[in-house]
């Protein structure tokens, strides 16, 4: 488990460097490259976690879903930052970033269900699915409440929000189903809360007014990378 921890430490250092550059210089191709290096770090953490453990076929399938989801996260990080670095192409980069994160979260969901769902307990899937879908309704009717304006991106955000919420509610449901006895799943649940919190901050940063302050940028990125690195590190604890 030493190598995954080392990559986490390196990732934390790279994150500090990126945030310092982002706060001081704003968005640029250079900061995009700096951010991508932080994201490469969670890929390295996940791959080294795989190398540190022996897996059954069931675990290997789950790991494949997680690795692919992390890869989509890496791509989404780059494309969403290019939205700022190349403002003239901001719209296609925004759509590309949201689409890759959406597919990444679906992969997380598929992995969680394939590995941790216990047959014969359908309500542990049905209830979180209903809760997740309700997020789309909330997003659609609460622009004024949260003081945001989605404009042309409203359908995309409404489609994206339940998928983002789904990894939190599914991991919570499955952790309850398994009696909180699976360390890897419990870590994933913690990470998903950090992920959801990050996206709530990002919602204001992208679509609100006056919510792109340095403190917002720092909290958004820190909580996001805590989530991705925790998910990558959780692979060390699969049994």
Q: What is the DSSP string of 3-35?
A: HHHHHHHHHHHHHHHHHHHHHHH-S-HHHHHHH
Could you give the percent of the chain with pLDDT greater than 90?
A: 61
The confidence score (pLDDT) of residue 57 equals 60
- This model's pTM is above 0.85: yes
For tokens 């670095």, name the residue: 85
Tokens encoding 82: 């290019």
pLDDT band of 47, cuts 50, 70, 90: very high
Which tens digit of pLDDT belongs to each residue from 78-131?
988 887 667 667 788 888 989 999 999 999 999 999 999 999 999 999 999 999
Calculate mean pLDDT across residues 47-72: 85
Is the per-residue pLDDT at 141 higher than 90?
A: no
By the 8 A CB rule, do 167 and 105 touch? yes
Residue-averaged pLDDT of the chain: 90
User: Which residues are CB-neighbours of 182 under 8 A, at least 6 positions away?
Assistant: 116, 175, 239
**How far, rounded to the nearest angstrom, does the alpha carbon of residue 25 sit from its chain's CA centroid?**
25
pLDDT band of 228, cuts 50, 70, 90: very high
pLDDT band of 55, cuts 50, 70, 90: low
The confidence score (pLDDT) of residue 85 equals 67
146 or 65, which is more confident: 65
Calculate mean pLDDT across residues 176-188: 96
DSSP-H helix ranges across the chain: 2-25, 29-51, 57-85, 90-116, 123-141, 143-146, 154-177, 183-207, 214-234
9 or 94, which is more confident: 9
**Cα(98)–Cα(114) distance, rounded to whole angstroms?**
24
The confidence score (pLDDT) of residue 56 equals 62
Calculate mean pLDDT across residues 199-225: 88
């Amino acid at each position: 488990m030493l190598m995954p921890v080392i990559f986490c430490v390196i990732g934390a250092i790279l994150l500090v460097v990126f945030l310092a550059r982002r706060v001081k210089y704003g968005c640029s191709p250079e900061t995009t490259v700096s951010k991508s290096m932080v994201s490469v770090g969670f890929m390295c953490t996940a791959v080294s976690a795989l190398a540190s453990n022996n897996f059954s076929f069931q675990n290997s399938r789950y790991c494949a879903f997680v690795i692919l989801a992390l890869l989509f996260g890496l791509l989404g990080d780059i494309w969403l930052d290019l939205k700022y670095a190349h403002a003239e192409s901001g719209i296609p980069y925004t759509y590309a970033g949201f689409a890759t994160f959406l597919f990444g979260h679906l992969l997380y969901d598929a992995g969680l269900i394939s590995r941790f769902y216990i047959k014969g307990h359908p309500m542990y899937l049905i209830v979180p699915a209903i809760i997740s879908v309700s997020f789309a309704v909330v997003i659609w009717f609460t622009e004024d409440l949260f003081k945001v304006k989605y404009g042309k991106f409203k359908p995309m955000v409404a489609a994206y929000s339940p998928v983002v919420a789904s990894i939190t509610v599914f991991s919570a449901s499955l952790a309850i189903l398994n009696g909180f006895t699976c360390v890897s799943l419990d870590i994933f649940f913690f990470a998903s809360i950090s992920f959801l919190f990050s996206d709530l901050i990002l919602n204001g940063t992208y679509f609100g007014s006056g919510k792109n302050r340095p403190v917002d940028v720092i909290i958004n990125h820190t909580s996001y990378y805590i989530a991705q690195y925790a998910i990558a590190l959780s692979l060390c604890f699969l049994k």
